């Protein structure tokens, strides 16, 4: 049996050892951490494969001395969007929730080797499980972690996909935007626009779909014109440029539905620069109800995510030893402030 070829300088993973030995990843883990339940012949085969692949012998030796892990890993991906006040606040809540459950939250910057990092941390008994945020359609991380038997829960999920075999928690993004559109139309607005990020993440797509569906259902055809549904780049300067394009167009909207509080803030700043009163001149809604919306003095009407409950469910699902798959879609709430009245 020959060792699998290595890609560049990538260190071999537990999955590589399993393939080389012709056993499952769980069997490799048991051979390392619970050798008493693995036959001697299998242990010897696993050890031979580990030696052949030069598999992290120091990590394996350390794992034999560790107690049960108390760390919950939170995967920090590459910087995507403009400063995210919601996520900063949410991570504080998540850390506090972990502490209440006798766990510690560990932020993990993994780069392009997320699966290998999770594999080593979990089977090396340094993490009890992982929270995986920023979920996109067809996200390959989720089936990969499931296949390897690594406990995790996704912060994000597709409510219309019942085939997912992993746990996830999310806010109903589509319903949140519908609440915003309903609020604006109840105030007499019929010329709306939408400002948000591209559809890469599940939540960003459903926020846009919520706007499109709500406007279609209410017969707001002009609010669906290409120039009224705008996607922005990731930086705040991109948000400002898109807000300016909307507010200085030949037929500007009277209300702008924003996919995040950062987008709403960009509209607010550009409107103020142009001398347009926010509220009476142009109504603005945000999403997340972050400190940008409610604690910064801007008074932005926003969709509140139940972040405390999200944090509780994410940790509860990881700590719970139940086997039933849980998909938790939580209700958003409209918080009205001066930007729309």
Which CATH number is 319's domain given?
Answer: 3.40.50.2300
Beta-strand ranges (E) seen in 209-282 are 229-231, 255-258
Query: Interhelix angle for 85-100 vs 307-319, to 10°?
Result: 40
Residue 195 has pLDDT above 60, yes or no: yes
Please state whether the predicted TM-score (pTM) of the whole model is above 0.85.
no
- Looking at residue 282, the DSSP 8-state letter turns out to be B
- The mean per-residue pLDDT over the stretch 29-46 comes to 80
Q: What is the mean pLDDT of residues 254-269?
A: 96
Burial class (CB in 10 A: 0-12, 13-18, 19+), 179: buried
The answer to the question of residue 187 being in a domain is yes
The total of structural domains in the chain comes to 3
Same-domain status, 201 and 104? no
- The pLDDT, as a whole number, for residue 202 is 95
Classify residue 9: in a domain, yes or no: no
* 274 falls within a domain: yes
How many whole angstroms separate alpha carbon 105 and alpha carbon 170?
A: 19
Distance, CA of 210 to CA of 176 (rounded, Å)? 8
Chain segment 63-112, per-residue pLDDT in tens: 444 456 789 999 987 655 555 778 888 999 999 999 999 999 999 886 66
More confident position, 3 or 116? 116
Report phi then psi at 107, rounded to 5: -85, 130
Are 177 and 300 part of one and the same domain?
Answer: yes
Task: Judge if 165 and 212 occupy the same domain.
Answer: no
- Per-residue confidence (pLDDT) for residue 64, from 0 to 100: 42
How far is residue 47's CA from residue 318's CA, in Å, rounded to a whole number?
Answer: 30
Q: Quote the domain boundaries for residue 38.
A: 14-63
Mapping DSSP onto H, E and C, the string for 73-93 reads EEEECCCCCCCCHHHHHHHHH
For CA atoms 296, 299, 305, 308, give the dihedral sign.
positive
Query: 141 with 238, same domain?
Result: no
Rounded to an integer, the average pLDDT of 23-40 is 79
- Higher per-residue pLDDT: 110 or 220: 220
Q: Are 134 and 201 in contact (CB under 8 A)?
A: yes
Instruction: Return the structure tokens found at 265.
Output: 């803030």
Does residue 258 register a pLDDT over 90?
Answer: yes
7 in a structural domain? no
Whether residue 181 sits in one domain with residue 130:
no
Q: Are residues 323 and 249 in the same domain?
A: no
Phi, psi of 238 (to 5 degrees): -70, -40
Residues 201 and 267 in one domain: yes
Rounded to whole angstroms, how far apart are CA atoms 61 and 116?
18
160-172 average pLDDT score? 94
- Residues 259, 319, single domain; the answer is no
Cα dist. 195→205, 226, 253, 299, 327 in Å?
12, 12, 12, 18, 28
**339/296 Cα distance (integer angstroms):** 13
The mean pLDDT value for 150-171 works out to 94
CB 41 within 8 A of CB 91: no
39-48, 82-91, 94-103, 142-151: least confident range: 82-91
């Amino acid at each position: 049996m020959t060792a699998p070829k290595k890609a560049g300088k990538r260190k071999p993973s537990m999955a590589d050892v399993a393939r080389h030995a012709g056993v499952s990843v769980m069997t490799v883990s048991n051979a390392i951490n619970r050798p008493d339940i693995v036959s001697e012949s299998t242990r010897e085969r696993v050890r031979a494969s580990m030696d052949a692949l030069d598999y992290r012998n120091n990590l394996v030796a350390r794992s034999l001395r560790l107690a049960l892990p108390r760390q919950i890993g939170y995967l920090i991906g590459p910087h995507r969007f403009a400063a995210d006040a919601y996520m900063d606040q949410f991570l504080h809540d998540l850390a506090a929730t972990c502490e209440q459950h006798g766990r510690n939250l560990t932020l993990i910057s993994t780069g392009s080797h997320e699966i290998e990092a999770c594999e080593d941390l979990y089977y090396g008994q340094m993490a009890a499980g992982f929270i995986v945020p920023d979920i996109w359609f067809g996200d390959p991380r989720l089936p990969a972690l499931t296949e390897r038997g690594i406990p995790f829960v996704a912060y994000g999920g597709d409510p219309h996909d019942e085939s997912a075999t992993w746990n996830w928690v999310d806010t109903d993004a589509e319903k949140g935007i519908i609440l915003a559109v309903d609020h604006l139309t109840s105030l007499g607005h019929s010329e709306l626009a939408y400002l948000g990020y591209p559809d890469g993440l599940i939540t960003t797509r459903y926020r846009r779909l919520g706007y499109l569906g709500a406007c279609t259902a209410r017969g707001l055809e002009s609010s669906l014109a290409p120039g009224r549904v705008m996607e922005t780049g990731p930086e705040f300067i991109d948000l400002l440029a898109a807000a300016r394009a909307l507010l200085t167009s030949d037929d500007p909207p009277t209300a702008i539905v924003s996919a995040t509080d950062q987008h709403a803030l960009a509209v607010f700043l550009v409107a103020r620069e142009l001398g347009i009163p926010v509220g009476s001149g142009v109504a603005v809604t945000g999403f997340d109800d972050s400190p940008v919306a409610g604690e910064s003095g801007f008074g932005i009407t926003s969709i509140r995510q139940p972040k405390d409950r999200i944090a509780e469910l994410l940790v509860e699902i990881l700590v719970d030893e139940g086997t039933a798959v849980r998909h938790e879609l939580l209700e958003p709430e409209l918080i009205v402030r001066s930007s729309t009245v």
